[in-house]
Amino acid sequence: MNTTEILEKLPYSTPFLFVDDLVSVDENGVTGTFTFKEDLDFYRGHFKNNPITPGVILTETMAQIGLVCLGIFLVGNDLTEESQIGLTSTDIEFLKPVFPGEKVTVISEKIYFRFNKLKCKVKMLNEKLEIVCEGTIAGIIKVN
């Protein structure tokens, strides 16, 4: 399965799609990017006169790129429209803010994938290649 096919199978759409591009994907991990456009709605209220990207959105971005895209690749053609993908746990440390207009890169390394449960070590880098946040994310894919 190539990167275009993976992106087409993502169960998200705007305004809740946080994947622009997949740079690489293989059985051990994935790297992808997303740019936080300045007009995203959540910036209007987080924070007044000093908007930054909420941690929950950074976590979601890492989950979409680092867990869901990799999971789709690993499950491959067994994934159907009836398949369900769910987050089961996160442990993320936030180190730097992400501001409107910034492009981030998510790098994910598979820790394990068994019984359709995937756990990954993930990190997010800003354009200066500084670590913005890092940790582990796990989820499960129910294939029908």
Residues involved in catalysis:
46
Residue 111's contacts (CB-CB under 8 Å, 6 or more residues apart) are: 119, 120, 121, 136
CA angle (131 as vertex; 113, 134 as ends), nearest 5: 35
Contact 55, 28 (CB under 8 A): no
- Alpha-carbon distance 130 to 118, whole Å? 26
